[in-house]
């Protein structure tokens, strides 16, 4: 059976594809309200530092810069779209792709849900993935030339990845594991020295704040083994990577040292997080660091096959699914207002309804881990102060590091919970979600 690509001609080149990609994503980020995590990352950007409780600082900087160009949701996501698009430019230029291979790249890029998701949603994963292709380009040049320029570029790209998200450590480790001779190369150690030097400001910030991020990620996230975590990881990764894509790293036969690295990164990331489920829950986007490697491997794999039944039946259907999902994020044409806790249509109306009750009083959200989301989203859409109270027993947040709770002591505030409590009243918001609130005069942490 001929593939979809063999039966049609795609009469445009990679420049046309990237322009179309940019336009569609700019429309998407303008029409799509913020997800829960995006509100929290926007809160980061209100005060730029060298680090934050959960993540390194690069995303906060990108949001601050984007918000200086555009207002609203588009500003929060603007530079994420730009970085991923520049990553695609580099992807199309650092390999001698044939026309057929490029056509497979177009469709694979459009068919991977996770890649499309992190393009339009402001996650730390977005700059991580964007700079991962720069890192791969530098590594390919290093393998070819073994010179100072490629060594320094590799170090710079790794540092940028680390300033995006800590999973960059795993990315580099898997590259080393794929090519242990790097440990005998002096220029490679120069690359690592540059990484340490560039990452030093963040490490100093961690030291001055008692290493909150490292303690949380290495210790605070650990939970007793629950087989549901493993099952959920597998059942999430198959659809977000794609059932016709996810197996390729395990069967691909690398033709050289560079493709061996791609195989190790893609397969190693999936295996690592499978093992991680023995100690806790894995969020679906944590594997994003392997997206460019798996895209490259998949394009090579499918373009080299004469019979592409797998591609026709397991990859292409995701194009339609993603189209429907993207339209739903922008326009609620399906009578379902929420995707779990991460996304609701009508957040602006929700914030307006709460503001009508609170007026100018600070609003304190005591809704568990969700308080981080709701406090920041309230601030974003209302322009007034929202404060997340201590979210979990073993989990602080940036609100605690910045002493937001102390800043509203002795003030009149509105306390919000998801469930009724003594003296509370119910507010049914136009978003379809009810909250329970109570005004507290002369607030202190012990008077409610």
Q: Is 378 in the same domain as 240?
A: no
Q: Is 320 in the same domain as 419?
A: no
Q: Where does a domain end: 301, 330, 359?
A: 330
User: Using one digit for the tens of pLDDT, what is the confidence trace for 243-268?
Assistant: 999 999 999 999 899 999 999 999 99
Q: pTM of the predicted model, to two decimals?
A: 0.92
**Torsion angle, alpha carbons of 36, 39, 85, 23, to 10:** 90
Distance CA 413, CA 386 (A): 10
Q: Which residue reads 């409610």 in tokens?
A: 448
Task: Categorize the per-residue pLDDT at 425 as very low, low, confident or very high, splitting at 50, 70 and 90.
Answer: very high
Q: Is 278 in the same domain as 374?
A: no
Q: Look at residue 287 and tell me if it is in a domain.
A: yes
Most confident stretch, 128-142, 338-352, 363-377: 128-142
Nearest C-alpha neighbor of 330 from the set 22, 29, 21: 29
Q: Is 301 in the same domain as 157?
A: yes
What pLDDT is stored for residue 404 in this prediction? 87
The number of beta carbons lying within 10 Å of the beta carbon of residue 409 is: 13
Q: Look at residue 133 and tell me if it is in a domain.
A: yes
CB 350 within 8 A of CB 321: no
Q: Is 56 in the same domain as 195?
A: yes
Q: Is 355 in the same domain as 326?
A: no
Q: Is 151 in the same domain as 99?
A: yes
Q: Where does a domain end: 330, 355, 385?
A: 330
Q: Is 151 in the same domain as 186?
A: yes
Query: Residue 10: pLDDT above 90?
Result: no
Task: Categorize the per-residue pLDDT at 446 as very low, low, confident or very high, splitting at 50, 70 and 90.
Answer: low
Query: Residue 162: pLDDT above 90?
Result: yes
Domain limits at 436?
A: 346-440
Q: Look at residue 335 and tell me if it is in a domain.
A: no
Q: Is 260 in the same domain as 375?
A: no
The number of beta carbons lying within 10 Å of the beta carbon of residue 438 is: 16
**What's the total number of domains in the chain?**
2
Distance CA 122, CA 107 (A): 23
What pLDDT is stored for residue 448 in this prediction? 54
Q: Is 326 in the same domain as 364?
A: no
Q: Look at residue 424 and tell me if it is in a domain.
A: yes
* C-alpha atoms less than 13 angstroms from C-alpha of 153 in its C-beta half-sphere: 19
Q: Is 217 in the same domain as 350?
A: no
Distance CA 214, CA 325 (A): 35
The total number of residues written for the chain in this structure? 448
Distance CA 344, CA 431 (A): 7
Q: Look at residue 124 and tell me if it is in a domain.
A: yes
Q: Is 191 in the same domain as 245?
A: yes
Q: Which residue reads 């007026």 in tokens?
A: 359
Q: Where does a domain end: 330, 361, 379?
A: 330
Q: Look at residue 175 and tell me if it is in a domain.
A: yes
Q: Look at residue 336 and tell me if it is in a domain.
A: no
Mean pLDDT of 53-76: 95
Token code pair at residue 320: 């339609």
Nearest C-alpha neighbor of 159 from the set 206, 193, 187: 193
Q: Look at residue 447 and tell me if it is in a domain.
A: no
């Amino acid at each position: 059976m001929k593939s979809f690509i063999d039966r049609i001609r795609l009469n445009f080149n990679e420049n046309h594809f990237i322009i179309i990609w940019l336009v569609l994503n700019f429309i998407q980020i303008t029409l799509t309200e913020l997800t829960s995590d995006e509100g929290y990352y926007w809160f980061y950007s209100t005060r730029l530092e060298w680090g934050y409780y959960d993540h390194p600082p690069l995303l906060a900087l990108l949001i601050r810069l984007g918000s200086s160009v555009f207002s609203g949701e588009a500003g929060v996501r603007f530079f994420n779209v730009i970085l991923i698009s520049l990553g695609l430019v580099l992807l199309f230029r650092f390999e001698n792709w044939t026309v057929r291979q490029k056509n497979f790249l177009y469709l694979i890029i459009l068919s991977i849900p996770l890649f499309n998701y992190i393009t339009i949603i402001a996650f730390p994963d977005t700059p991580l993935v964007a700079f991962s292709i720069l890192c791969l380009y530098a590594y390919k040049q290093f393998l070819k030339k073994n010179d100072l320029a490629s060594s320094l570029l590799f170090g710079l790209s790794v540092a940028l990845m680390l300033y995006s998200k800590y999973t960059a450590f795993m990315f580099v480790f898997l590259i080393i594991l794929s090519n242990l001779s790097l440990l005998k190369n002096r220029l490679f150690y120069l690359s690592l020295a540059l990484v340490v030097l560039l990452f030093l400001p963040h490490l100093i910030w961690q030291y001055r704040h008692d290493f909150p991020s490292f303690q949380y990620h290495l210790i605070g996230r650990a939970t007793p083994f629950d087989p549901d975590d493993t099952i959920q990881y597998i059942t999430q990764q198959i659809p977000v990577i794609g059932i016709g894509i996810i197996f390729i790293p395990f069967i691909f036969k690398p033709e050289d040292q560079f493709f061996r690295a791609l195989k190790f990164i893609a397969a190693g990331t999936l295996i690592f997080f499978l093992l991680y489920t023995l100690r806790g829950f894995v969020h679906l986007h944590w594997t994003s660091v392997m997206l460019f490697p798996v895209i490259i491997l998949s394009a090579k794999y499918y373009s080299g096959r004469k019979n592409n039944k797998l591609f026709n039946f397991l990859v292409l259907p995701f194009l339609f699914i993603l189209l429907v999902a993207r339209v739903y994020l922008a326009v609620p044409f399906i009578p379902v207002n929420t995707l779990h806790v991460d996304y609701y249509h009508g957040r602006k109306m929700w914030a307006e309804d709460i503001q009508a009750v609170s007026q100018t009083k600070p609003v304190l959200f005591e809704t568990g881990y969700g308080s981080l989301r709701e406090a920041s989203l309230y601030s974003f859409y209302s322009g007034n102060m929202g404060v997340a109270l201590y979210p979990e027993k073993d989990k602080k947040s940036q609100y605690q590091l910045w002493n937001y709770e102390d800043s509203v002591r002795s003030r009149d505030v509105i306390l919000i919970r998801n469930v009724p409590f003594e003296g509370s009243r119910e507010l049914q918001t136009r978003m379809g979600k009810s909250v329970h609130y109570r005004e507290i005069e002369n607030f202190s942490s012990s008077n409610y």
